[in-house]
Amino acid sequence: MVVLVTGANGQLGQALQSVAKKYPEINFIFAASSDLDITDKENVATYFDSKKPDYCINAAAYTAVDKAESEQEQAFLVNVKGPQNLAEVSRKTNTVLLHISTDFVFNGESNHPYTEEDTPDPKGVYGKTKLEGEQTIQQSTAQYYIIRTSWVYSEFGNNFMKTMLRLASERDTLNVVNDQIGTPTYAVDLAEALIAIIRHDSNTESKPYGIYNFSNEGQCSWFDFAKKIFEVNKVAIQVNPIPTSAYPTPAQRPEYSVLDKQKIKQAFGITIADWETALRSITI
């Protein structure tokens, strides 16, 4: 079984590489943007013809939420045109596409965890392009799993956890937003969930294609997350809670973006760790 992973040098791509050796029955092909430019359909078609993937995990994305407000064309190319190219080529090659999306497709005004049936209403360019990417996949191929996730972090790449630990080495105090609520997602747990979907799909006649949510369990604010990061890593620093209004950004963040995971747990028998448990499992 051949599984192609785009965005190999990103956080999720590196997380998938870290667990790949546990699955000798899968031939993983990790493609960085220098190997495979998903915004170039001809390049995608040639690459798929050469590698003949049974599955493609699209971990390539434009994720600079604030820069997307001023780099709309680039965000569109990577988050909309790229997935469209992958989906159209996947349809022709009978490849199953697994695409990573985001909690930013929602407006953050809910008072309950978002389900896959809730109506998207993105507020910024990043969320809008990610939603358009989902829609173009749905229009271009029938064999897809779209996985929406949130607040991804790990020992790989750049993320909130690593930023907090770096800042703590440079400062005595930190101010962290306390009125945005969501759920941290450990990239390795997300990687394992994607592999569980692939193994289920390849071993059963039932193909429950569609949209799924995945994050770790529980919820917290960025302030809570930061405090726990420092506690787990035994870092002594003063952390002060501040409102979003005290830390203005070009892009609006969802105030509430907790995702309901019942659908993915029931469809694939996935057990999901609490976010605090996941955080404690990491060694930096």
Q: 204-220 burial, b for 16+ CB within 10 Å, e for fewer?
A: eeeeeeebbbbbbbbbb
Q: Helices (DSSP H) in the chain: which residue ranges? A: 11-19, 41-51, 72-76, 82-93, 125-140, 160-168, 187-203, 222-232, 262-268, 275-280
Q: 20-54 burial, b for 16+ CB within 10 Å, e for fewer?
A: beeeeebebbbbebeebbbbebeebeebbeebebb
Phi, psi of 148 (to 5 degrees): -85, 135
Contact 181, 216 (CB under 8 A): no
Residues acting as catalytic residues: 126
By three-state DSSP, how is residue 35 classified? Answer: coil
Q: What's the length of the chain? A: 284
Contact 41, 94 (CB under 8 A): no
Distance (Å, rounded) from C-alpha 222 to C-alpha 63?
18
